[in-house]
Amino acid sequence: MLKGTDWVGNYSRFSYDEAKQYFYVLKEQGVPLLDDEINFLQEANITFIRRLISSLIGDGSADSGFKIDGTGATNDFTIKAGNLVRDGWLVNLASDTTYGAQPQSQAALTTPSGSNRTDEVYIDFWFEEIDNVEDSNIVDPVLTTRTSCRLQLTWAVKVAEGSTVPVEYTDGQNKYHWILKLATLNRLDADATITASMVVEERAIAPHNKAIATATTAITLTRGHHILLCNSGTAFNVTLPIESDIAGNGYSKEYDIRNLGTGVVTVVGTIDGVTDPTLAQNETLKIYTEGSGYRKKVVTHDHSNAIEGGNVLDTPTIADFTNAVHSHANDAEGGNVLDTPTIADFTNAIHDHGDSNDGGALANESITGSKINTVPVMSTSSFGAGGIGYFADLSQWVASASGVFVELWDGSAWRRSLVEINGGISICNPTYMRLYFTNATTLYSHTF
């Protein structure tokens, strides 16, 4: 980047070499500070940031930066404001401008004559050295002597009329020029206007702003495409860009091609050694550039067709799950999901509520285990004989009893007393207590 033959500033040298992977300048004491050391440190830091941006974002725009809009103007078009990234460099346009009014003036566009014409629009940017003649603020007013210069990123939107975008190049002043295609203009013969219908978007789209396009007839993909939805009843071709244009020149790109129509789609190009693969209805092809060729992107689990998990446009049915590890297609595999569960569905469960042996009874069943177990005791004297029966809980016992007997064990014998139903039971540190109650026919007891 720091190369040139017409430097205005007085620089000793530019020694930074990215291939050496130097990240730090360790300054020693007792020696002068050199201009190259400061310039080296700056370029090392900037290069690191550029490589990070290139890896995570790639080339392109996440907004409308440098989007070309046809407005019907005469041999002119609008350039939209926003950001654009190329090779880690961020190019910014603060507000909308036009081809004719952009900061770096370009040759006026011409009207096609004799036939229609295809023009290609691109951005060309480079770095210009700026000194105090162009910007007086560079000189400190106290010193009044220039101690440094600046490098300014300079850009121009250019048009290759009837031609194609040039490759990146180094100019006669040894300045490197970065190039990125923005649009194609399909100009009409003898028509001086440039309308929206003539403009084909060609900007690369940053990964977090994926563009979706549709096609019903033959189409050649561009850097501006990302997701292409094909929908036609007849066969047609989707042509990949020339590999050297997309995969080469340090550019990284992904395409997601989906066929929603009944017509077969042929992808014209070579992908992982396969020439011109075809897509039937509901099939998807995901590819990316690697080196100077195209590779197929392997998806672990895809819903784009029935073979890879079911078509996302279909309504799932029981049959879609018959090969699953756990299926609800029939009772043998967990019960039909359309059935209403019943007690019978749980007869093989570890814990069952069907009877008292499997964890406790349902309503009106006997309570056993650690629950209070009431034992009917027949009286042969004062209470007389009666039917055997019992109640589910103490509230039922008390509510239905006509009296309560309490027996306390004093260590040698049970001592009995009659207590009113709504009265209290006074116990003075008994060893055991036995409670009786009666419904006038049956006497019940429980020992605490």
| Chain mean position to CA 422 | 70
pLDDT, tens only, 134-166: 999 999 999 999 999 999 999 999 999 999 999
List, in sequence order, every beta strand (DSSP E) within 269-386. Answer: 270-271, 274-275, 278-279, 284-290, 293-296, 375-377
- Over residues 218-269, the pLDDT tens digits come to 888 876 677 888 988 899 999 887 765 554 444 567 888 999 989 999 999 8
From first to last of its 448 residues, what are the pLDDT tens digits of the chain? Answer: 556 667 889 999 999 999 999 999 999 999 999 999 999 999 999 999 999 988 877 788 878 899 999 999 999 999 999 999 999 999 999 999 999 999 999 999 999 999 999 999 999 999 999 999 999 999 999 999 999 999 999 999 999 999 999 999 999 888 999 999 999 999 999 999 999 999 998 887 665 556 677 888 888 887 667 788 898 889 999 988 776 555 444 456 788 899 998 999 999 988 888 999 999 998 999 988 877 788 888 654 444 444 444 444 445 555 544 444 444 444 444 444 444 555 555 454 444 445 545 444 444 333 343 333 344 443 333 333 333 333 333 444 444 444 555 555 656 666 554 443 334 443 344 445 555 555 544 555 555 5
Q: Quote the CA–CA distance of 252 and 211 in Å, as a whole number.
A: 16
- pLDDT at residue 208, as a whole number: 53
Q: Given this model, what pLDDT does residue 288 score?
A: 84
What secondary structure, in 3-state letters, does the chain show?
CCCCCCCCCCCCCCCCCHHHCCCCCCCCCCCCCCHHHHHHHHHHHHHHHHHHHHHHCCCEECCCCCCEECCCEECCCEECCEEEEECCEEEEECCCEECCCCCCCCCCCCCCCCCCEEEEEEEEEEEEEECCCCCHHHCCCCCCCCCCCEEEEEEEEEEECCCCCCCCEECCCCCEEEEEEEEEEEECCCCCEECHHHEEECCCECCCCCCEEEECCCEECCCCCCEEEECCCCCEEEECCCHHHHCCCCCCCEEEEEECCCCCEEEECEECCEECCEECCCCEEEEEEECCEEEECCCCCCCCCHHHCCCCCCCCCHHHHCCCCCCCCCHHHCCCCCCCCCHHHHCCCCCCCCCHHHCCCCCCCCCCCCCCCCEEECCCCCCCCCCCCCCCCHHHHHHHCCEEEEEEECCCCEEEEEECCCCCCCCCCCCEEEEEEECCCCEEEEEC
pTM of full prediction above 0.85? no
Q: What is the pLDDT of residues 171-196, one digit of tens each?
A: 988 899 999 999 999 999 999 999 99
pLDDT for the residue 446: 54
Rounded alpha-carbon distances, angstroms, from residue 14 to 110, 208, 265, 328: 43, 36, 53, 71
Q: Where in the chain is the domain with CATH 2.60.120?
A: 211-298
Return the pLDDT at 294.
87
Contacts of residue 287, Cβ cutoff 8 Å, sequence gap at least 6: 240, 254, 255, 257, 271, 294, 295, 296, 297
Question: Is the distance from CB of 440 to CB of 383 less than 8 angstroms?
Answer: yes
Q: Is the dihedral of CA 17, 21, 25, 31 positive or negative?
A: negative
Distance CA 204, CA 183 (A): 10
User: Any idea which architecture 211-298 has in CATH?
Assistant: Sandwich (2.60)
Give the single-character DSSP code of 56.
H
The amino acid that residue 368 corresponds to is T
Element (H or E) spanning 221, and its range?
none
At residue 158, the pLDDT reads 98
